[in-house]
Structures are given as structure tokens and as C-alpha cells.
Chain A
């Protein structure tokens, strides 16, 4: 998936937004449109036409400007995000010359050159950053928590219920389906980036809003307790109440995990959504071995705490994931389950390893609190238990049914990453 799609996806899901995608060419736009209509939204994707002549003449900008004005006038959306992909950003269209507001419509430039965005996670960070940067300064009367990060639709409700037991609440949640969700941030008392990749947004929010931050998320036994107490401390809530709530929730998560143990099983996790850190937490607390986490997220300050926690439990974090290495890692090690990208899972299935595609299966579920832990671990358990089925099919399709091998990929080497990592951990 093109890294920029992480942003296009979030913006197309905003019901009062009317995004314009300035593609690099038809190959690029076709891909974004195809995937958007497959699983993002049943709504049109608008773009100015592009060609070598249009880029050379610079006429794309004139067309863009008249498009923005027409759309604002005809449809009056709350925002028109301008998603600028590789070529338009390389050419350097003068986006500063676009009107900032037309009537009630905010026109917001979202720079998404895939060659420097690199990951979905970074693209999502750019969306939040671009939209939040448009907001006025934080207002005086502040209360509640701004949740930042894509989570399961019922998660904010569960978190709000929890926070109310301690005397605060969820102020708003972004990325949300409406511009108003972003605007409401100006009244929050605390920012909680739930995933470790909103680094640029957080940097600029720190500079502009002057709000305290609590990192991490209420996921897993340790994570839930730590997050709740950190919120309490940051907002100076009643310590005894916070401690009581944190302990209650921790006990509930532990109970949920105890019902779904994964002891003795080894997992490979490769994700590019950004919440793979949280998933691995759950797997490890349920007793699984996860020798490494391959993530598309770049090493950044927000991920440091998560990384430390994982490292202490025998899991190396590989930042800026490399697909080829992930596939190579499958070579020798007998994994019990693989959670990763489509290519990785396809190869795992060739080897008879139960596997699930991260985006479709995991990213659509809650991970938070006891209910999230129970839900995601039950899916994982169900998958692991299907080992026999995966193996039967793999043997049928293998050239030699006693020697399962993965098929060749032009770009995946045959080095054994897992063995290499385990060796480096031992020394």
C-alpha cells in the first residue's frame, strides 16, 4: 500500500470533508481510488487531471484553485484537504496561494510525498498535524482528555466511562469523522497520543498548545495500569480513586488474558499500522514468545517507552521495517503464528503456518482494556488452533510434502533474520 494512503484513507472517512487527491499520474490515482472504494468509503474521489504537459505548464495549480472554489461553493464541506502526492510535491505547486477559507470551508494542505513519508503511520501523523495546526490557540477553560489515534469505534466510549469514574472524561477523539472532532481539541486539558507514531503532531502541539501529554495506551496488564495512573497524575486527580480504578482495570485485563493463554507459542509480528507495539504487549503478557517486532514506524521518542518494555521481555524492535527481511525471517524458524503483511502471510501459509493479515484482521479490532484483550486474543487463539488445516493445505501444494518451502520472491533474500537476532540477543 502506498504510504500516503494512510492519510487519504482517514480524510475520505471524514463525513464533512471533501478531499482532493493530486496524484502523480493515473497509475498512482487508480491505486488510491481502487483501494479507497474497496474498503474506505462509497463516495467520489476528486482530482485535477495530470500529464507531463500539465506539470510542465504548471496549469495544474490553476485547475486546483478553481476546483477548490467550485467545490466549496457547491457543497460547502467543513474542510477541503488537499492531498499532495509525490509529483505535485516535487514540482512544488504554490499551495500557499490557495485561499485558507471559503465561506465556512477550511482549505487545508496536506503534504504527502510518499518518497519521504515512507509509512502509513507517518501519513496519519501528517493528517493530524495539518488539521490541528489550523486550530486557534488552546482556550482557557480546559477539561478532559484529547484521545489521539485510530482506535476501535467503541474504545472512546469505554475509555470515557473509565475516566468518569476518576473524575475526568474524554474531551474529543481524533482522527474522527468530523472537523468538529478536531476543533474540540482546543478545550481539552490533556493530550493522549495512543500510538507511538504521532511524533511530528505531538512536537508541534507541544509548541503551540501548552498541554500535558500522556503516552501509551490502556492495553495489557501493565499498560492499562500505567496509563490510568499517568492520566491521574497529569490531571492531578484524586490519587486514591485513580489507584482503585487502575487496580480494578488491571485485574480485569489479567482475568481476560488468563482465559486466552498462549504459553509456549512463538509469534512473528510485522505491522505498518503503528499499533503493532500494543498487540505484541498483549501476546507477551499472554505468555507468547515474540523474538522481534518488525514495524514500519520510525524510531522516535514516543516509541521509546514501548520499546524498552518489549526489549525487557526478549523482543527486539526493528524500525522502518523491510518486507524482504520479514520474508527471509520465515526461512528456518518454526513460528506458530504470523501476523503481518499480505506477502508475509502468503509465504507463511505456504509453510503451513497459521497467519493473519494485520490490517484486515487485527486493525479492525479493539485492543484496549479487558474487552479488547479478550477479543484480540481469542482471534489469535482461534488462528493458532487451526494449525492442522494450514498444514494439510501446505503439504498438498508442496513439491515434497515433507519439506515445505516458500516460493521465490525476486526481492527477498534467504538469510535467516530470526536466528541472527536470537544470536545477537544471546551475546
Chain B
């Protein structure tokens, strides 16, 4: 019988105790399509995603069944620049060499590694990699049915993206919840009478999750509920069955975890991005938990605390610029949709372009490049990954950049940069305003410090004034000539910057270009305009 065919009661009682025969529960998450050609791949594969789930458990050791690169790349090199961890201390690898790949198979070396990984009393998870899948390696020993023995997870590393693999790995843990034995690292059971809430996600390698998690915890505590488990990030494998103890589940990100929440079968909510979505989230969650009054009191208190700053900024002149400060957003679905709604609908920044980073509708890197290059004006701010940052630099676009997605090396361990909840709304608002100020500063019309030297006294200027006008032939002041090409180019340049700095940019461009032309004794031509523009382009 397939897991999907089980009724809720049998599911709650646990599917096939040994786990293996049960196979896998079906994941609701859709894969990122596999394309014929790839430029600057923006998501990891199934082996990485599965590793990031299992390694998040406190009582787990993970053995990747693959060559050394499959271990050190995700668990030593990349993790250092996504999670700022020197390396994952509970991940190891079967270190396949030529002998295993071509002759012996992986079981021999794998047994040794699994025994070593089990030596400190941890639950061992074996994760397949492309090489082991290619040679059809699995885990077949006489101990596989023993409780607490090593579990093999087929990560579908050749086909599944990291998100779907995370979703499937979480389902796998739930399906095996009776397999795990107490290892002395379980979260102590709750004794309070407050309603309990699960938080599903994050795992390692998830952009900004430390701050987002802190905010969701703050919101749950704020309305008088209590966190049951933060799963898998602050839990043990042995805690898995306790997911059923809560009254509701909050799934941090839509990219993974919702299938698990579905199986657990409790009312499920997603972490909200934006002001109204957060209010709605709190009210809906409160209604399920019977905490309506606490929610109302919390929201009232937030308006005078966390959100007081939000309201102050909103009432300031800062927000007057929003309608003319376009943004572009490229991120996984949760952030892409959340930011599009919050920045676009609530704050009123025009969203000039947005694309999914992952999932069935994700945009390949070259499409994002073409889109960004084609925007006029260029967005004031591009929220994305290092891929977008590189595009901005390579195409010399005048946009500012804010990272909102992996890939891209970053440190996000301080918990003051959430995107979700009220604190997230405030943090993002602050980021937008700082970008505005940054753009304003870069486009101040004059930067003559020290001032230009007066080479001619006023009386000489007065004496020459009539002849300057005469030489110009226009009967008025001295006007430097611009070639048609230069005029067109200047117009284009001005159009590419956000509206709110166009006057400044126009003034500055004219002043600098004419200064250069005077020095060269020529009219302002296209080359001069290009030179001046290049001088003020931001370096991304």
C-alpha cells in the first residue's frame, strides 16, 4: 500500500515501522526544470538539499555516499559562505575512489564510514550522490530494520533540486519517526498550558533564515503561544513524532516543508512578508489557537513598539519618493512573491521586473540578463543573488543591489535582518530608504570641493561678457554646443536613472560635460557624455 493511500489514522499511527517498504511519501513541491544549457546555475541539487535537512538535526551524522568533492564542496566550502560555519561537523563522506566507482561498488567503504559515524551514538543518515546513483549503490545490510540503525535516503541528486529534496527529506523523517531512538539530545517536553506551535524549516543553506526564524519565534511568543519544535533546525530525529503534539504548524518557506505539515495534519500557516500579511497571519493563527484577545493586544503593542518606527518613516518625506523608485526582484517563490507584494503593493515602489529563482516557473540567468538590460529607467534597486549582481556589473547598470537570495557569499547570522513579520517590514523599509539616500548622494549635482579657483577677476568677466555673447551669436549668455548624438545620449542616460534624481543628474551631466568640452575646446560630443556618465556609474 502506498503511503498516500493510508488514511489519517494509520498515518498518525506511523507507516511501515521499518520504513523501507513504505517507500516515500509524495512531495507537493515542484522541481526546477532541467534545462538543455545552464549559465550560472542558481540552485543546488538533491544531495545538497537532503544533507542540509539531516545535518540540521542535533542527533544526526550524515554520510554522503560519493567522492570527496561531494562532501567538501557543500559541507566545507559553500556552507562557510552561506551559514558562516567553518564546516559541518556532523557530515562525512564515503570518499569513493576509482576502485569503488569502477569495480568494488560503494558498500564496503560505506560500511566503514557508517560504523565510524555511529560510534558517537548518533542517528546516521546516508545520502546518495550523482556518482553513487549512477552506479546504482544503495544500502543493504542485515541491520536496516533495527530501530536506530543507519537510514539510506535516495536524494534523486541527478534530478531533484535542493528544495524538493529538502521537502522529501522532511517527509522521510516523518515516515521514519518510530525508527528513531532516544539519544539524550531530545528537546525537553513542554509543561506549560499555552498552546503549542510547530515551526517547520529552516535548514542550513537557506538565505536569511536565522533572522526570519527569530522573528517568527518572537511573533509566536508575542501572542501567548509557545513553540513546540523548530524542525529540523533545533530538534533531534527522536523529536519527530512530537510534531503531532502541537495545535498548529508554521512553515517558514513555501519552497519546502509544506508536505510535512500536510502529513502532520495540523492547521498550517506560512511565515508572512509585509504589514497586512503579518496582521492576517497573527489573527488567523490566534483564531486557531483560541488566542484572539492576546493577538489583538499584541498587535496594539507592536504599533507602539516595533511598528512605531515603521509608521514614523511612512509619515516622513522618505515615502514620497517611492512611486519613482523602481525595483527588480529575483528570488525563490517565498521572497519573490512576498517582496513583490510588500514593496510593490504596500510601499508602492514600482516592481519593474520580477522572476522566480526556483520551481517550475523559474527564469534562466540569460533571460534575467536580457530583462534587466532592457529596463528604462534601470531599477533603483535590484534584489537578487550574486547572479544579478554580476549582471549589473557586467552590463554597467546604475542600479543598487541588495542580496535576497543565494547563491552569493554573505554573512547573515546577526538576527536583525528579517524579511518576515513586522520586524521584517521595518527592516526592508529601512533598506529601501537607505538606498534612496545612497542614490541621492551619488547624484548630488555638484561636488566641487575645494571650489574651482577664480582665474579671472569680476571686472574682467564684466568686460568680456558682451564679446562672449557676440561670439556665440545668440545675443545672450555663452552656451556650449552639443552635437545631436550627444544630446540623444544624454537624454538616454537621464532616462535610465530613477525619476527623483533626474534633475540632479541632468545638471551634473551638463556641467561636467561642458567643463570637459571647454577644456578640450570642442563641442560636447558623444564621447564626452560617455566619459562623464562612466565616472558616476556605481560599482556593483
Q: Measuring CB to CB, which residues of chain A are less than 8 angstroms from any residue of chain B?
A: 1-5, 23-35, 37-38, 42-55, 63, 67, 85-87, 90-91, 113-116, 118, 341-343, 345-346, 407-411
Contacts and interface: CB of A to CB of B under 8 A. Distances in A.
A28 B69 contact: yes
A346 B96 CA distance: 26
B69 A2 contact: yes
7 contacts: A1-B77, A5-B77, A26-B41, A27-B130, A48-B36, A86-B69, A90-B134
B120 A408 contact: yes
Contacts of A54: 34
Nearest to B165: A27
Nearest to A38: B409
B47 to A, nearest CB: 4
Interface string B152-167: 0000011101100000
B158 A25 contact: yes
A91 B407 contact: no
A4 B87 CA distance: 19
Contact of A51 (B39, B70, B116, B158): B158
A346 B129 CA distance: 27
Interface of B: 34-49, 61, 66-70, 72-74, 76-78, 80-81, 86-87, 89-92, 96-98, 100-102, 113, 116-117, 120, 122, 129-131, 133-135, 157-159, 161-162, 365, 386-387, 390, 393-394, 406-409
Given A28-B69, A115-B97, A33 B40 contact: yes
B41 A42 contact: no
A51 B35 CA distance: 9
Given A1-B76, A51-B159, 15 more contacts: A2-B69, A24-B131, A25-B129, A26-B161, A27-B45, A27-B157, A28-B73, A38-B81, A38-B408, A44-B40, A49-B35, A55-B134, A118-B97, A342-B87, A343-B76
Contacts of A33: 40-41, 407
Point out which of A27, A30, A87, A91 has the most chain B C-beta atoms below 10 A from its C-beta.
A27
A91 B134 contact: yes
A30 B407 contact: yes
Nearest to B156: A52
Contacts of B158: 25, 50-52, 55, 87
A1 B35 contact: no
A46 B366 CA distance: 11
Contact of B116 (A5, A91, A407, A411): A411
Given A86-B69, A114-B67, A407-B89, A27 B122 contact: no
Nearest to B85: A346
Contacts of A30: 41-45, 48, 78, 162, 407
A87 B61 CA distance: 26
Contact of A52 (B68, B131, B133): B133
A37 B390 contact: yes
User: When A and B form their complex, which 3 residue pairs have the shortest distance between CB atoms, in order from nearest?
Assistant: A2-B69, A27-B45, A346-B86
Contacts of B387: 37
B36 A49 contact: yes
Given A47-B37, A115-B96, A345-B86, A27 B70 contact: yes
A26 B72 contact: no
Contacts of A63: 36-37
A27 B129 contact: yes
Given A52-B133, A410-B91, A37 B386 contact: yes
A1 B37 CA distance: 24
A46 B36 CA distance: 11
B130 A24 contact: yes
